[in-house]
Amino acid sequence: MTTLQWLETPCRQGVSWGIPWPRGTVAQGTRFTIADGTPVQSWTTAAWPDGSIKWSAHAIGPSGRPESSYELVAGEPATPANPVEVERADGEVRVKSGDISWILRAPHLITSISSGDQEVIRDVRLVSLRQDEPNNDSGTTAREQTTAIVDTLVVEQDGPVRAVIKVTGKHGDWLPFSVRLYFYAGAKDVRIVHSFIWDGDPDRDFLAGLGLAADVVMRDDPHNRHIRLAGPSGFLTEAVRGLTGLRRDPGGEVKQAQVAGRAIEEIPNPEVADRLHLIPQWNDYTLDQSSADGFTLRKRTGPGQGWVTIPSGTRSPGYGYLGGVSGGLGFGLRDFWKLHPTRLDIRNAATDLATATVWMWSPSAPAMDVRYWHDGMDQDTYAEQLEGLEVTYEDYEPGFGNAQGIARTHELNLRVHDATPSADELAEHVALLNSPGLLTVSPARMLEAGVFGTWSLPTADHQDIEARLNFLFQYYVGQREQRRWYGFWDYGDVMHTYDRDRHTWRYDVGGYAWDNSELSPDLWLWYQYLRTGRADVFRFAEAMTRHTGEVDVHHLGRWKGLGSRHNVQHWGCSCKQVRISSAIYRRFYYYLTADERTGDLLDELATIDDAFLRIDPQRKVRPDVYSPDPHALSIELGVDWGALAAAWLTRWERHGDERARARLVGTMTDIATLHYGFLTGNARLDLSTGRFDTSRRAIAVSHLSSLFGLPEICSELIDLDLDVPGFEKAWLDYCRLYLLTPGEQTAEVGQPLQGISLVQAHSRLAAYAAARTGDTELARLAWRKFFVDEGDQLNRNAMQRETEWKTTTVHGALMPVEEAAFVSTNGAAQYALAAMQNLALIPEHRT
């Protein structure tokens, strides 16, 4: 029996989630049920090497009174009273849940949505606007409007609790998209996850609008038609034909009914009733969120008429209602203000068929411009580019700052209403949109399952370290808000390095700007969540995973499957590597939520080893003569192989892919066979066999090799006990030798290791070796290197154990900010990972 608890508060919507199981405890084919009889749908998302279930996923439908917790047990699941049903016929898909029916048929996403026998919504479609130049001062730039065309409809799940339909197509002829529609038994809403890939010419293609539109059938009298648009703490509450504020009073009950959204059967005052035709009908509304700090509201009586300004506000949660007392549509976009520029439009509300549009890129904003941010500054040769790297830390190369293949995912919701919802209902829907419900298990239960390698629960014995871990997390939460790390392409990422002199992050200095997973902040956040179960940590990590897996990775084109190193623009760096696209950063979110879009990103990496044929990551600094050879591809045994291993392991445990297993186990065997193991630095991979050439006898150590998930994936692989003799020893030798003295290194391998730095980060490697071998002196060395000021680490500048880390309030900069100038993201992420793993491995040896 496993207890399920809510990440945040119990919610009444349909929910999907994942659960890990200890190895060998749950056989494939095991049926699950919830002890109180709540209907549940279950499926397997990963298996252990022995075939037992490693991760299972589950779904329950909405409930009017959700329990505070549930007990999941083995057994036959209950059947929903109103199961979600999926029918395929004549090129269309029909979904039914209770009284609500959806018809899906190309060319639109959803052709019709009905409640009972009454059609409420028609033609749910994706729309976009395109320009062939950026906005100009004259305002004469022409725009081309396009309705996206659906190419495929695939039923991925067909109930009885949860149904998933995947839709693919293109916005016009240039932006591929995929959409998943999620339906739950008894639900009146559909969750929509839209992902698109940018695939244009940055000099000629400018996206001027990207939205989801739906037509709403309007049957009620204009004064019984209602508009609701969400503000920070309430709603714009209006009617198409307003009866409040008139010179003649229609009556208190009439006014109260209209504001509450109830039907007005008659208007008792003839001075109003006889003059209804003289009261304006407000046809169109727009809420425009142009920044994280402000939205504007306006309305008009119709096309060709002037707009009337409505009092504006700060941050809209991005939800609205369009309809009347006989029904309508609730619509919204998650993280609306965080993903600005965004917009909500209502058009033709005074006609028989109105339209609601959720804009993921607002047409009011300047067109999206993804051109490279500088002209190259004559850095045409590798030598010149390396010189630039020395001063701005930017790895520039002509043509490599192209955004082709980057992606973005948005989560939207459409909800069918039989009547205008109350303010309380709307508030609940806003909350569900922006913090969707999630069931999970306790950190202790997660740890018991033995997943994700080395970690432990916090204890009262090391409160100083725990306090620092909390300080670092809270600092980045605060920095995201104070520095406004929001926006369509930016939300979810953090900056790399701080500028003490300007009191700002180095947003405009080459490789010091956006972090792009450099030195694994993704891992830091996810392990912090595993240890604590904190919802705020989960949400921060969730946003980062959504960003780094989409925006920082190329999903088509020359660099498909590769990520871009840190830069002023997320796609700007010429260093395209698997260390950024690594599956190790996405696995947490996929397994914890069963999110299919993240599953797509993991599947993209199934044959990522092929990417090394297209580009040599070491091309600018390679001392030897080399060109990619499919039978001898140069693979760095740290950042490259660690990412490959994560991709192969994930593919194998998710799909039972024998190719992935063979490559994983084969290369592990070859690393063990290399004379110097991981110390060799790199090896040549034969793509046809998936094996390394093991003849190389050289030592080449990089300070970065172990800082992009290699310790975490090696820990998982060793725990799996895959019967690869010598692999653990090869890894332990690397972990043990890295922090030893040059003399000790020479005594063992004949030479001192060069390039040793990031000492604090590598303390966790020494801790791992000490824990596996029982070496007490090595454990003490690990703690000493973690705490003592040596190199690039967060205990420097008098920040010793007894000193509290603090922020300083800075005035006189662009905005007042709380500054901790000693913190950089490299240091924060690696301090946290080292602290958490040292506490898990060798807590008793701390002095």
Say if residue 797's pLDDT is above 90.
Answer: no
Neighbouring-strand partners of residue 74 = 32
Average pLDDT over residues 57-72: 96
Higher pLDDT, 171 or 623: 171
Structure confidence by residue, pLDDT tens digits, 326-381: 999 999 999 999 999 999 999 999 999 999 999 999 999 999 999 999 999 999 99
> CA-to-CA distance for 607 and 328, rounded, in angstroms?
46
Q: Which residue has the tokens 């070859």?
A: 670
Residues 6+ apart with CB under 8 A from 655: none
Q: Kindly indicate the confidence band of residue 803, based on its pLDDT and cuts at 50, 70 and 90.
A: low
Residue 335 phi/psi, 5-degree rounding, is: 55, 40
Average pLDDT over residues 557-568: 97
Report the range of poorest mean pLDDT among 74-78, 85-89, 394-398, 795-799.
795-799
Give the 3-state secondary structure of residue 88: strand
Answer whether 630's CB lies under 8 Å from 613's CB.
yes
The pLDDT value recorded for residue 138 is 61
Residues 6+ apart with CB under 8 A from 777: none
The pLDDT value recorded for residue 798 is 39
| DSSP string across 549-570 | HHTTB--SSTTTT-EE-SBSST
Residue 538 phi/psi, 5-degree rounding, is: -60, -50
Residue 728 phi/psi, 5-degree rounding, is: -60, -40
Answer whether 38's CB lies under 8 Å from 78's CB.
yes
Structure confidence by residue, pLDDT tens digits, 160-186: 999 999 999 999 999 999 999 999 999
Higher pLDDT, 687 or 804: 687
Q: Which of 610, 559, 558 is nearest to 581 (CA)?
A: 559
Q: Which of 717, 584, 453, 650 is nearest to 46 (CA)?
A: 650
> CA-to-CA distance for 321 and 329, rounded, in angstroms?
6
Structure confidence by residue, pLDDT tens digits, 95-122: 999 999 999 998 999 999 999 999 999 9
Averaged pLDDT of the chain: 96
Structure tokens at 766: 């020494």
Average pLDDT over residues 683-704: 97
Structure confidence by residue, pLDDT tens digits, 272-328: 999 999 999 999 999 999 999 999 999 999 999 999 999 999 999 999 999 999 999
Say if residue 780's pLDDT is above 70.
Answer: yes
CA terminus-to-terminus distance, the chain: 40
The pLDDT value recorded for residue 795 is 67
Structure confidence by residue, pLDDT tens digits, 12-55: 999 999 999 999 999 999 999 999 999 999 999 999 999 999 99
Kindly state the DSSP code that residue 422 receives in the 8-state scheme: P
Q: Kindly indicate the confidence band of residue 790, based on its pLDDT and cuts at 50, 70 and 90.
A: low
Q: Residues 529-550, buried b or exposed e (16+ Cβ, 10 A)?
A: bbbbbebebbbbbbbbbbbbbb
Say if residue 402's pLDDT is above 80.
Answer: yes
> CA-to-CA distance for 268 and 245, rounded, in angstroms?
16
Answer whether 374's CB lies under 8 Å from 509's CB.
no
Give the 3-state secondary structure of residue 676: coil
487: left (phi over 0), alpha (psi -120 to 50) or beta: left
Helix ranges (H only) for 435-486 are: 443-448, 463-482
The pLDDT value recorded for residue 788 is 76
State percent of the chain over pLDDT 90. 94
Cα four-point dihedral sign 246, 248, 253, 254: negative
Residues 6+ apart with CB under 8 A from 461: 843
Average pLDDT over residues 817-833: 95
> CA-to-CA distance for 485 and 547, rounded, in angstroms?
12
| DSSP string across 244-296 | SS-SS---HHHHHHHHHT------S-HHHHTTGGGS----EEEEEEEETTEEE
The pLDDT value recorded for residue 799 is 43
Structure confidence by residue, pLDDT tens digits, 481-503: 999 999 999 999 999 999 999 99
Kindly state the DSSP code that residue 514 receives in the 8-state scheme: B
The pLDDT value recorded for residue 55 is 98
Say if residue 791's pLDDT is above 80.
Answer: no
Structure tokens at 266: 């008659």
Q: Kindly indicate the confidence band of residue 796, based on its pLDDT and cuts at 50, 70 and 90.
A: low
Q: Kindly indicate the confidence band of residue 625, based on its pLDDT and cuts at 50, 70 and 90.
A: confident
Structure tokens at 106: 């190309």
Where along the chain do its domains lie? 2-74, 85-241+280-370+406-420, 613-649+656-711+721-756
> CA-to-CA distance for 225 and 282, rounded, in angstroms?
10
85-241+280-370+406-420: CATH topology: Beta-galactosidase; Chain A, domain 5 (2.70.98)
